[in-house]
Amino acid sequence: MVPFRRVVQVTLTLAVVVSLTAIAPPPSGTRIIDSAILAEHYPAARVPAFVAVHQGLAAEALNRDPAVVADWWRSLPARDRLRMPGQMPDVIGNLAGVDYASRDRSNRLELDRQLQELAALAGHRQMTDLETGQLAALSAIESALASSSVPRFLVELTTDQPPLAAISIGNLDTARLVTFAVPGMGTYTTDMQLWTRAAKNIYDAQSAAGAIGQAVVAWVGYRTPPVGIEATRDAYADRGAVLLERDILGLHASRADGTQPTVSIVAHSYGATTAAKALKSDLGVRSFVMLGSAGVDTSVHSAAGLTSEFVFSGEASDDLQARWGRVDRIDPGEPGFGAMHLAVDGDAAAGLLPVTGHAPIVHSPWNDDPASPAWTKYKDADVRARLYDSHMASYGYFDVGTESLANVGAATTPPRVRERG
């Protein structure tokens, strides 16, 4: 069973595709989804119908290969490339191979449209739990885009419930160093602010390691499994791997000037399981960092089976959840696997803090504020104080000041990038 629906490239929502019996525009609110589904399920005879209702689109845009999409996009007159993101944001915003400035423009328009629709709905009747959850996720995405320093770009957005999304810290069209931050179980776009903060922390750690002009993608681009038994199964990872592969290939294909960035993947928990499946294909990845890994597929016997130049694995001594996730998978932290050890348990001499559990990130301005709703919801002052003290003494893999974050920055910043800087 396919556990989710996902926007990446050009095709109709599968339910719409199956039901189409005449040439007609897709229903209002329908978004374009993964072209792999198109290739497998969409009759070739209906491609012209879809193109006909998206003026300026061509059949090449329906290709599953981002390189073909990129060639088509660059072949368009400049006026069309300026027009299309505003006229068909449901297509351009998630089309791997298109430049990211155009995708950002489309996705921001789509985000505004969805927020306005929900606001209008709320003005007419009480929202359902599903609609309330959708609003929470879209609002979190909107808030995560706010930045007073490094520019942020909304490079993916879907109408899944909750939506999927990807936010880049830094410009993917020009960055020399690009890192995909892949989340694990239980991370949804309702957590987009916190996951984007984790990405920004990685960005800052790379800057501290000497990187200049990098970009880090807070990639909530697949449906992660809920916390529990589903995290021991591979269905979510199988689908997510296809989507991650598509997005990395899209990054390479989108570079009109032929220059290629150095690409890394930093994955937490089940995200490591997902990314390892993607790395069975050669995606031109330099560094693959697994933190608190839920394990890699048993078909991958060693780090040599992953198409990454460097493979790292780090796990906190107090991380019990990661071990639970590896019941039927290989532990990449075992010496025999061949991954390089990434220290995360703290270095007192260097003033670096230890990771204290499985969480990817614990600290942020809003949940470190004792006056915020995160803490005032506890009415008993003693309970609130005890929980807050425990929170402040806890650290995740991407928290500022940890040995883990510092080592992630170093592992994903090649010496040659530092030298060019």
* H or E segment to which residue 156 belongs: strand 152-157
Residue 371, CA atoms < 13 Å, CB-side half-sphere: 0
Among 66, 67, 69, 45, CA closest to 58: 69
Residue 287, CA atoms < 13 Å, CB-side half-sphere: 26
Q: What is the predicted pLDDT for the residue at 376? A: 92
* H or E segment to which residue 311 belongs: strand 308-314
For residues 231 and 28, what is the distance between their CA atoms, to the nearest angstrom?
Answer: 34
For residues 73 and 187, what is the distance between their CA atoms, to the nearest angstrom?
Answer: 33
For residues 40 and 224, what is the distance between their CA atoms, to the nearest angstrom?
Answer: 23
Q: What is the CATH number of domain 14-361+396-420?
A: 3.40.50.1820
Q: What is the predicted pLDDT for the residue at 276? A: 97
Sequence ranges of the domains in the chain: 14-361+396-420
pLDDT in tens, the chain (421 residues): 333 333 333 232 222 222 222 222 333 333 334 443 344 334 555 666 666 666 677 766 666 789 989 999 999 999 999 999 998 887 889 899 999 999 999 999 999 999 999 989 888 888 899 999 999 999 999 999 997 789 999 999 987 888 999 999 999 999 999 999 999 999 999 999 999 999 999 999 999 999 999 999 999 999 999 988 888 889 999 999 999 999 999 999 999 788 999 999 999 999 999 999 999 999 999 999 999 999 999 999 999 999 999 999 999 999 999 988 898 899 999 999 999 999 999 999 999 999 999 999 999 998 999 999 889 999 999 999 999 999 999 999 999 999 999 999 999 999 865 544 4
* Main-chain dihedrals φ then ψ at residue 231, nearest 5 degrees: -70, -10
Q: What is the predicted pLDDT for the residue at 247? A: 95
158 token code pair: 């879907």
For residues 9 and 30, what is the distance between their CA atoms, to the nearest angstrom?
Answer: 13
- Taking each helix axis from N to C end, the angle separating 66-75 and 235-254, rounded to the nearest 10 degrees, works out to 30
**Cα-atom radius of gyration of the chain, to the nearest Å?**
21
Q: What is the predicted pLDDT for the residue at 26? A: 32
